[in-house]
Amino acid sequence: MSGEARPVIGFGALSVDDIHYVDAPLQAGKGRVLRRTRAFGGNVATALVAVARLGGAASFVGWLNASPDDEVVRELQASGVRIDDAPRAADCLPIRATITVGSDGDRFIAYDDDVRLGTTPDLGDAILTAAGALLIDGYAIGSSDVVRRARALDVPVVADIEWTAGAATETLLEMSDHLVLPLGFARRASGRERPRDVLEALWTDERSAVILTDGAEGAYLLEADRPPRHLPAHPVAVVDTTGAGDCFHGAYAHALVQGRGIGDCVRVAAAAAALSVGGRGGREALPSAGDVERLLSRVDAPEFRELASGTRWR
């Protein structure tokens, strides 16, 4: 990608994660700790690091601590994410999370998010219009006016929403033209079960795409003038699924800014997410563009399949 490319910007969750790897699956109820580590995470922050790892321009424009020595700030910069346009305040702290990762790579996240999130209402239109896409998560509920301005300025909004705060979350969903949601949350938000029905329930004429991620089952896509489709997952050995969804969102936004079609964006995102689960922590195994292209070029790379109206939900 050229140095003139428009950046992916974003605001939302920043976290410091204490990760415990155990010798049993989470369903076992208990297990021995094999390893402890500390890592940096957060939906939007990790997604932007994924953009940078893929060679894209990424800029965090949410609240950050004012100290130049803040560990979260330093990590973003070291990962290639710009912070020049981020509002700063002395009382800004990251989310603190404790993550337990089972022997099968699945994980449980316990977190304390009673911190300042979102962005300043004064984020300038010039910052928004310079962007190729805006990444948000559920914490954007306190900055919905900024999201509304972005859409009015024709900036694509890629939404990563996993939980609801009621009407404020519904407003975010309505404003976002690229919904990229985990299937479990999308089912609750739509009141439907089968992926095809969920896609159609969430679709509006203002959308560019509705995408449902479903881990080892792959992803589901609905875009304008195309039937609902399913992309099976790449068969990979799973070490740790932490951050896989964030990687998907970042890679999708990066591909979108590159001018790829929606289907290609989903293929790139799915390949990047598949590669990301091969390492520990949310950012250790984030792939390069070359890694992604090599996986996509394999003869056994999955292809989209149309979801017929009579198909079962699995």
Average pLDDT, the chain: 93
Q: Which residue has the higher pLDDT, 21 or 8?
A: 8
DSSP code of 168?
Answer: H
Residue 311 has pLDDT above 90, yes or no: no
Region of poorest pLDDT, from 35-44, 179-188, 253-262: 35-44
Q: Which option is the CATH number for 44-87+117-306: 3.30.43.10, 3.40.47.10, 3.40.50.300, 3.40.1190.20?
A: 3.40.1190.20
- Mean pLDDT to the nearest integer, 28-32: 92
Bridge partners of 110? 98
Query: Whole-angstrom Cα distance, residue 273 to residue 249?
Result: 9
Query: Whole-angstrom Cα distance, residue 90 to residue 150?
Result: 27
Query: Whole-angstrom Cα distance, residue 139 to residue 202?
Result: 20
Tell me the pLDDT band of 4, cut-offs 50, 70 and 90: low
What local confidence, expressed as pLDDT, does residue 242 receive?
81
- 65: number of CA atoms within 13 Å, CB side? 17
- Percent of the chain residues topping a pLDDT of 90: 82
pLDDT in tens, 227-268: 999 999 999 988 888 889 999 999 999 999 999 999 999 999
The count of other CB atoms within 10 Å of the CB of residue 176 is 26
Tell me the pLDDT band of 1, cut-offs 50, 70 and 90: very low
Helices (H), 93-182: 125-129, 144-152, 167-175
Q: Would the pTM count as exceeding 0.85?
A: yes
Mapped onto helix, strand or coil, the DSSP state of residue 230 is strand
Read off the tokens for 283.
């950012």
- Mean pLDDT to the nearest integer, 208-221: 97
The burial of 109, by beta-carbon neighbours within 10 Å (0-12 exposed, 13-18 middle, 19 or more buried), is given as: middle
The structure tokens 């990047």 sit at: 272
Query: Whole-angstrom Cα distance, residue 193 to residue 183?
Result: 9
Read off the tokens for 191.
């009141």
Tell me the pLDDT band of 107, cut-offs 50, 70 and 90: confident
Region of poorest pLDDT, from 113-117, 148-152, 263-267: 113-117
Region of poorest pLDDT, from 77-81, 144-148, 166-170, 203-207: 166-170
Residue 271 has pLDDT above 90, yes or no: yes
What local confidence, expressed as pLDDT, does residue 93 receive?
93
Tell me the one-letter amino acid at 276: S
HEC readout, 228-258: CEEECCCCCCCCCCCCHHHHHHHHHHHHHHC
What local confidence, expressed as pLDDT, does residue 250 receive?
98
What local confidence, expressed as pLDDT, does residue 253 receive?
99
Angle, CA of 258, 263 and 266, to the nearest 5°:
75
What local confidence, expressed as pLDDT, does residue 310 receive?
55
**89 near 66, Cβ under 8 Å?**
yes
Angle, CA of 276, 174 and 192, to the nearest 5°:
75
